[in-house]
Amino acid sequence: MSDVNLITIFLTGLTTGGLTCLALQGGLLTSAIAVQQDTLAKTNKFIPLFSFLTGKLFIHTLLGFFLGTLGQTLTLSPITRGWFQIIIGIYLLGIAGNLLELHPFFRYFVIKPPKFLAKIARNESKSQSIFAPFLLGLSTVFIPCAVTQATEVIAIGSGNPLYGASIMFAFILGTTPTFVIFGFLLNSGAKAFQRFFPKIAAVTLLGMSIYSINNGVGLTGSVYTLQNFYQAAVHPNVLSAAINKEVIIKNGIQETQITVTNNGYTPQVITLKKDIPVRLTLNTIDVQSCSRSFTIPALNIQKLLPESGETIIEFTPHNLGALAFSCSMGMYTGRFNIVD
């Protein structure tokens, strides 16, 4: 599944991934810096930080290699990935609730490292060895944030050891600037940042939760997504026009087309006849986004489209009602209205 854009993965780590990882793993980084802060020369203050981040990058790249290997024998359907994203979104809500201390219940959403790892972390965090922060960086693999878990699923879906390693490398590399900034502020004694960080992270996680749940719903094949509600509210005539649109049938086959762009699919709603074969032509022109990975979840159809070109998918709709299609992330959606 080499349709995953590594630049997109990097940007995910740079934005949402960095904050969620820091929310869970910031304590390990703090301990790695705090103990050695008084013993290192002023010019070497950042050595523990980079030792920690090197260990984190190394272990997750290795993990990606094994996940890609696993993916050679394991294929996740769009619906399975959709439910996974919904679970991730719920998990993010729980983490946000814990950061804001809304209720003791939310503490159960915090992933705690195994006891043996906690013991190692305590011992190493007291060590003056420069290798100690590296070991703490390795231990972050046992405390994955929600976005890291989602990226691990993508690595599995790659079905390629080297590509799986590249996916995890790009993601963790993207999270690195957030950790560097956090480490710099710790070294600079920026207490105000440390005090307000939980609230900043919680608000970010709340937005990410809504985003993840919405995309997951779209990927399961449901039409009840925020973008569809928006479309119905702002452009109701578009939906009604699509329902009344005449279906063109040639030689017993329904022929229709969708133009694929970096921003989604046009048209978003197409009417088809039940029990009549469909020949769907997908046209792409210099498309780089995840819209290249076209799926019809209910039919378990997944197709990687070329950046530019024409792709034909054939299927036969057997059930009346809405038949949703989307990109592999559930971000861009549309539907076929199946009628008699």
Does residue 24 surpass a pLDDT of 80?
no
Q: Cα dihedral sign for 74, 80, 85, 91?
A: negative
> For residue 238, what pLDDT is reported?
54
Contact 337, 322 (CB under 8 A): yes
The listed range with the strongest mean pLDDT (48-57, 305-314, 321-330) is 305-314
Among the residue ranges 19-33, 93-107, 262-276, the one predicted with the least confidence is: 19-33
Residue 281 binned pLDDT confidence (cut-offs 50, 70, 90): very high
135: its two tokens: 């070991």
CA torsion through residues 261, 263, 264, 265, sign: negative
Q: Is the pLDDT of residue 65 over 90?
A: yes
Looking at residue 306, what is its pLDDT? 87
Inter-residue contact 83 to 217 (CB < 8 Å): no
Per the confidence metrics, is the pTM higher than 0.75? Answer: no
What are the boundaries of each domain within the chain?
6-219, 234-339
Other Cβ atoms less than 10 A from the Cβ of 50: the count is 17
The winner for highest mean pLDDT among 82-91, 205-214, 218-227, 265-274 is: 265-274
pLDDT number for residue 278 = 95
Is the pLDDT confidence value at 141 over 70?
Answer: yes
Length of the chain: 340
Whether 211 shows a pLDDT value over 90: the answer reads no
Which range is least confidently modeled, 67-71, 230-234, 298-302? 230-234
Q: pLDDT class for 90, splitting at 50, 70, 90?
A: confident
Per-residue pLDDT, 19: 76
| H or E segment to which residue 56 belongs | helix 47-71
Query: What is the phi/psi pair of residue 207, to 5°?
Result: -65, -40
Per-residue pLDDT, 58: 95
Predicted confidence at residue 197, as pLDDT, reads: 64
The answer to whether 169 and 57 have CB atoms below 8 angstroms apart is yes
Residue 278, number of CB atoms within 10 A of its CB: 21
- Res. 155 pLDDT band, cuts 50 70 90: confident
Which pLDDT band, with edges at 50, 70 and 90, does 310 fall under? very high
Q: Examine the pLDDT at 196 and tell me if it is beyond 80.
A: no
Separation CA 168–CA 9 (nearest Å): 8
- 234-339 to CATH, choices 2.60.40.420, 3.30.1860.10, 3.40.50.1970, 3.40.50.720: 2.60.40.420
For 59, other C-beta atoms within 10 Å of its C-beta total: 19
* 99 pLDDT more than 80: no
